[in-house]
Amino acid sequence: MASNPFRIGVPVTGEELADRETELGTILKEVLGGSRLFLISPRRYGKTSLLLESRARLQARKIPVAYVDLYQATSLAHFLDLFARAVLEAAEGTVEKAFRIAGEFLRALRPTMTVNAEGQPEWTLGFSQQQPDLLKLRDQILALPQRLAERKKGRLAVFIDEFQEVRALDGLALEKAMRAAFQQQPRVSYVFAGSKESLMWEMVRSRRSPFFRSGPTLSLGPIPSREFKIYLSNKFRESGMRIVPARLDDILTVGDEVPFNVQYLCHALWIVKGGTGDVSSQDISQALDYILASEGEYYTTLWDQLSLHQRRTARGLARSGGATPFTAAFLRKHDLGPSASVARSLGQLIKRDVLKKSRAGYHFADPFFKAWLLAKIP
Ligand SMILES: Nc1ncnc2c1ncn2[C@@H]1O[C@H](COP(=O)(O)OP(=O)(O)OP(=O)(O)O)[C@@H](O)[C@H]1O
Ligand SMILES: [Mg+2]
């Protein structure tokens, strides 16, 4: 059986990436120009995909790129380990060379090499949170990109994904140390990507933040609908299915133009249709039901974790079709008490990634969660 042509849950690159040429052009120009670029978007808009595609394009131009995902880091020591290994491997090209140079450049440490279950070499720098000179080591590791680039007389780029997590790792201390280290690195470009938008904006716009105005910002919006529809209709056609433009519009509406949700809906359509035939409106609702059934357990858990007031706020928003949540009528209708309580619940719902805020108001970050709410919480 043919495999599902709609990829979900993994970053997409190359042929699998729809559009984003303008954003890729900006990232490449900024990286080649030596910037510290901040890439900001809500969750699931395709930041990681963009970073990985930019990395491939830069590597094709002989610029090595280190990629670090801060969601993987569980402590300051773990972050430093991930950062150092990514930078060493990018600059040196192979794990073996990186391992050798690590011993030379980070003398206080004892890197260890093992072989994993697949027979691939794996290594760590071999230090922990208990390391006595952790802060000194931190500064040595943060200085590493420039030292390695100098050694090669070349340039280096470092991409840090989910950058806002730096605050969860070590408060402002790590952020300050990074800012201090990175501003002395003329051979190194940085891209900091983040999905907690308000935190990311605060990091670059607040005078109290170490990275205040330290570089340009790029905010990632939806994929232009024309380009996304061409991409999707090609995929349907190549897989042996047919879809008219009006149904593609429906798909973008149901997925609220969030790239992940749109792809997920198409992925589910392909499954419910068995990969053949014309896509009808009924098929689209069936595909949505399929998704709500498979995500049901996750949504139930999410719902369980919300306070009663947050639940009333979310339910009210889902039902009001985007009305402003501070009007007296809204507060009364949904039994929400004073507007200060609503402001608090909205803030917490944003923090939990349930809602996102735009100039136009509050929206559900995951339009399928909204659909689930409407269907299951009458
Ligand atoms: N340009 C694109 N073309 C096609 N599909 C895309 C594109 N960008 C994102 N997607 C879809 O969205 C999914 C998530 O993409 P990606 O992981 O890059 O987003 P993200 O913003 O890093 O998400 P997260 O906030 O969860 O880290 C992909 O698996 C794919 O289905
Ligand atoms: Mg990501």
For ligand 1, atom 23, the nearest C-alpha belongs to: 44
Q: How far is the CA of 104 from the centre of ligand 2 (A)?
A: 33
For ligand 1, atom 31, the nearest C-alpha belongs to: 8
Which residues line the pocket of ligand 1, CB cutoff 6 A?
A: 7-12, 17-18, 20, 43-49, 195, 223, 259-260, 263
Residue 1: pLDDT over 80: no
Q: How far is the CA of 161 from the centre of ligand 2 (A)?
A: 7
Ligand nearest to the CA of 366: 1
Closest-lying ligand 1 atom to the alpha carbon of residue 263: 31
pLDDT for position 176: 97
Residue 376: pLDDT over 90: yes
Per-domain boundaries in the chain = 20-219, 225-376
pLDDT for position 243: 97
Summarize pLDDT for 17-31 with one digit per residue, the tens.
999 999 999 999 999
pLDDT for position 132: 83
Summarize pLDDT for 27-81 with one digit per residue, the tens.
999 999 999 999 999 999 999 999 999 999 999 999 999 999 999 999 999 999 9
pLDDT for position 359: 81
Ligand nearest to the CA of 262: 1
For ligand 1, atom 6, the nearest C-alpha belongs to: 259
Ligand nearest to the CA of 45: 1
pLDDT (average), residues 244-270: 97
pLDDT for position 116: 86
Residue 373: pLDDT over 70: yes
pLDDT for position 358: 83
* pLDDT band at residue 322 using 50, 70 and 90 as cut-offs: low
Summarize pLDDT for 164-196 with one digit per residue, the tens.
999 999 989 999 999 999 999 999 999 999 998
pLDDT (average), residues 236-254: 96
Q: How far is the CA of 378 from the centre of ligand 2 (A)?
A: 33
* pLDDT band at residue 326 using 50, 70 and 90 as cut-offs: confident
Measure the CA–CA gap between 50 and 30, rounded to whole angstroms. Answer: 14
Closest-lying ligand 1 atom to the alpha carbon of residue 264: 31
Q: Which of 260, 352, 354 to mutate to test the pocket of ligand 1 (most atoms within 8 A of CB)?
A: 260
Summarize pLDDT for 198-230 with one digit per residue, the tens.
899 999 999 999 999 999 999 999 999 999 999
Class of domain 20-219: alpha beta
Ligand nearest to the CA of 223: 1
pLDDT for position 323: 62
pLDDT for position 258: 96
Residue 324: pLDDT over 80: no
Q: How far is the CA of 38 from the centre of ligand 2 (A)?
A: 14
Picking from 227, 202, 229, 230, the residue whose alpha carbon sits closest to that of residue 217 is: 202
Q: How far is the CA of 52 from the centre of ligand 1 (A)?
A: 11
CATH architecture of the domain 225-376 equals: Orthogonal Bundle (1.10)
Summarize pLDDT for 330-368 with one digit per residue, the tens.
899 998 999 899 999 999 999 999 999 888 889 999 999
Summarize pLDDT for 105-154 with one digit per residue, the tens.
888 888 888 888 888 888 998 887 888 889 999 999 999 999 999 999 99
pLDDT for position 121: 81
pLDDT for position 256: 95
Closest-lying ligand 1 atom to the alpha carbon of residue 19: 1
